[in-house]
Chain A
């Protein structure tokens, strides 16, 4: 509700505003004057309303309902209780958290290091940028099938196993192994997605004034000190934003288990929360349970994003 201090009044509207402030206009007039803006806005609002907000609200509603014989009834917390009792529930959260942490270590740090290396290069930077970005242009499903059939083949014919054998190291069952399934998914995911992050980091690095590095060098700072005292502080904003985006994206891990493990993997070792939603909804004919799990995930990710926004605004 607008506060009294900002509410437009006829007196204010009819008098010249103090310098630096535009006079408030009547709502109808504001709409008329901004009709072009509203017209452009309506498309985006409609798209968000139809494809984002409505499904979210519908999901919340569905999570408290059950449909039998085409008849929908309210069932309170039943769906949530059932989801919490699912033996795969905690495994899925554990796998998703493990994937997120590993992806933060590998998928977050590696692109930053690669970007720093590219930034230091004087030659072939453009070619290398294209090279790193190429996997992003591959459809994710195709990229994952490459990993599944060539890299992660559990026999000795698989690319990674052939390399390990050549190096006289023990081979792995990759996606068929309970211990290697998540790391293998992180590796494939990092390869697929790091190109975009590298370009973003590179753009941020190139915005750092060269004079800061020169001053650091004059003060006798070596490479690591320059990174620590110049590069990281100067890219802090983009680093923290990318961290949040990375966490939100990796928590929604889905296509990797679906393609690399044909689903849940060995003893649920590849099951993610998003995959469990899919399994309940589309394999177990439990769309209401899937909606409940979706709401739980929404709450967790929403809570994380809110905490991030709060922390980052405090830091600013």
Chain B
């Protein structure tokens, strides 16, 4: 072979290699298969490597489930510790690379349906597949339904309240057993806590990464307001109630200087500060303490929870949300049933998976938090779960008793919530970072943008 021929062969081999490499890099749209009795499904939201205990538990559960169901193979996929970082989730959805059974927030229903990626599972979601199905909260099921069609299975729910650091309360001369009940009391307590100095914020709030809008909504609900009109077509926060929310924050930030200098916080930022003992109070769900402890080096003993504060009295509402799993369009009946069986085992069976308190207790995963509360109060599943929880509690149940025993009416998040939250971030960030920002102007700007987004979504 001449040198030229060698070159030619080498070039063709290189091209062939490139082609093979590209082919190897490409992913099939559907990584699942079912042949005969064997069925394989891909499932996401496997804990990430840094969540060692949770990952170990997940893998053990997959193994145990597959032993119980030898015809089912679960292929687990990790999509980050948060499971649903909105940009990543949108990319997976738009690219059609979601797993067969994929995690989403309750607020994602509209987006998931618009993408055309989810299948209806009404006929499959029954007591036969999920033994506790009839005990699961109707509101949680409704969050994954459109009309009478069910598209997802709820696996967790939450409602918001006021989380506070007991240590800082004591240091500031406040009574941890008597936390603030109103926004006026929150403001007074925040002043005392921030007076401790050392970079401690008496009260802290989000203003970036969609979390600012999320918290604005929660605080608006506490005032008795709503972010969109009942028909979901117009923004409904540019009013006295919306102004009160932003004015409270502005007063705390600039008049009282009780919210700290660092703003533009998103989810991990605030919880990092909370874990470091730099936050006196913030609005959140009980599982925020789980994140503080398992991801941000905080301690359960430091935290307690009260109901959502109201304006001049008890809160008129609190934001409720949660998470669950959708099923990718085009799955076979066997795959859907396998997915439901897995969710029933891992997420919805008392004493198993997420409700395996005996296992969670020594691992320092929280047992005894008042939520998730997926089961209808009074149902058998509710009672069994509660008994198991109380018997294995590793958090002081009393610290959450005020929250659990003083329920506030729950309002669920609106349709297109993430798009609305993204817009409301700007109002929150303006008020928390610019002393000259006008509450009226910021609400008007956000209102215009939300109306535009809702009009576009309705087309």
Query: What residues of chain A have their CB less than 8 Å away from a CB belonging to chain B?
Result: 35-36, 39-40, 42-43, 46, 50, 66-71, 75, 78, 82, 85-88, 153-155, 157, 173, 175-178, 261-268, 278-279, 281-287, 289
Contacts and interface: CB of A to CB of B under 8 A. Distances in A.
B456 A289 contact: yes
B191 to A, nearest CB: 18
B416 A285 contact: yes
Contact of A155 (B22, B261, B264, B265): B261
A154 B262 contact: yes
- Residue of B4, B437, B459 with most partner-chain A CB within 10 A: B459
B452 A67 contact: no
Nearest to B452: A85
Contacts of A68: 114, 459
Nearest to B118: A70
B407 interface: no
B208 A263 contact: yes
Nearest to A281: B90
B429 A43 contact: no
B116 A71 contact: yes
B90 A282 contact: yes
A39 B425 contact: no
Interface in B428-459: 429-430, 433-434, 437, 442, 445, 448-449, 452-453, 456-457, 459
Contacts of B208: 261-264
Given A39-B11, A178-B434, A286-B419, A266 B456 contact: no
Nearest to B269: A262
Given A70-B116, A281-B90, A283-B86, A266 B422 contact: no
Contacts of B265: 262
24 contacts: A36-B7, A36-B11, A39-B14, A67-B115, A153-B261, A153-B262, A154-B263, A155-B199, A173-B261, A176-B433, A177-B433, A178-B434, A261-B264, A262-B208, A262-B266, A264-B425, A264-B429, A282-B90, A283-B87, A283-B90, A284-B422, A285-B110, A285-B416, A285-B457
A163 to B, nearest CB: 17
Nearest to A79: B456
A267 B86 contact: no
A175 B265 CA distance: 12
Contacts, number: 133
A272 B445 CA distance: 18
A68 B209 CA distance: 25
Nearest to A149: B262
A173 B4 CA distance: 66
A70 B15 contact: no
Interface string B282-321: 0000000000000000000000000000000000000000
Contacts of B210: 283
Contacts of A282: 86-87, 90-91
B429 A284 contact: no
B12 A39 contact: yes
Contact of A39 (B8, B329, B426): B8
B94 interface: yes
A66 B199 contact: no
Interface in B377-425: 416, 418-419, 422-423, 425
Interface in B1-52: 4, 7-8, 11-12, 14-15, 18, 22
Nearest to B416: A285
B194 interface: no
Interface string B81-120: 0000011001100100000000000000011011111000
A312 to B, nearest CB: 35
Nearest to B8: A36
A175 B14 CA distance: 49
Given A42-B15, A262-B264, A285-B418, A70 B117 contact: yes
B209 A40 contact: no
Contacts of B18: 42-43, 46
Nearest to B7: A36
A184 B456 CA distance: 35
Interface string B116-127: 110000000000
B429 A267 contact: yes
Given A86-B449, A283-B87, A286-B456, A265 B22 contact: no
A278 B210 CA distance: 13
Contacts of A267: 426, 429-430, 434, 437, 442
A262 B456 contact: no
A293 B111 CA distance: 21
Chain B at the A interface: mostly helix, strand, loop or mixed?
Answer: helix
Contacts of B429: 264-267
A242 to B, nearest CB: 32
Question: Which 3 A-B pairs have CB atoms at the shortest separation, nearest pair first?
Answer: A70-B116, A262-B208, A282-B87
Given A67-B116, A264-B426, A283-B419, A40 B262 contact: no
A75 B91 CA distance: 22
Given A282-B87, A286-B419, A266 B433 contact: yes
B88 to A, nearest CB: 8
Nearest to B19: A46
Nearest to B87: A282
A36 B265 CA distance: 56
A265 B419 CA distance: 17
A134 B12 CA distance: 40
Given A154-B263, A155-B260, A265-B429, 4 more contacts: A71-B116, A263-B208, A281-B90, A284-B422
A63 B90 CA distance: 17
A87 to B, nearest CB: 6
- Residue of A78, A88, A262 with most partner-chain B CB within 10 A: A262
B116 A283 contact: no
- Residue of A39, A46, A78, A268 with most partner-chain B CB within 10 A: A39
- Residue of A43, A50, A75 with most partner-chain B CB within 10 A: A43
B214 to A, nearest CB: 12
Nearest to B421: A283
A66 B263 CA distance: 36
B114 A43 contact: no
B380 to A, nearest CB: 38
A285 B7 contact: no
Given A39-B8, A71-B116, A285 B90 contact: yes
Nearest to A285: B111
B419 A285 contact: yes
B422 A283 contact: yes
Nearest to A42: B15
A261 B207 CA distance: 11
Contacts of A285: 90, 110-111, 114, 416, 418-419, 457
A279 B448 CA distance: 17
A87 B423 CA distance: 11
A45 to B, nearest CB: 11
Contacts of A71: 116
A155 B262 contact: yes
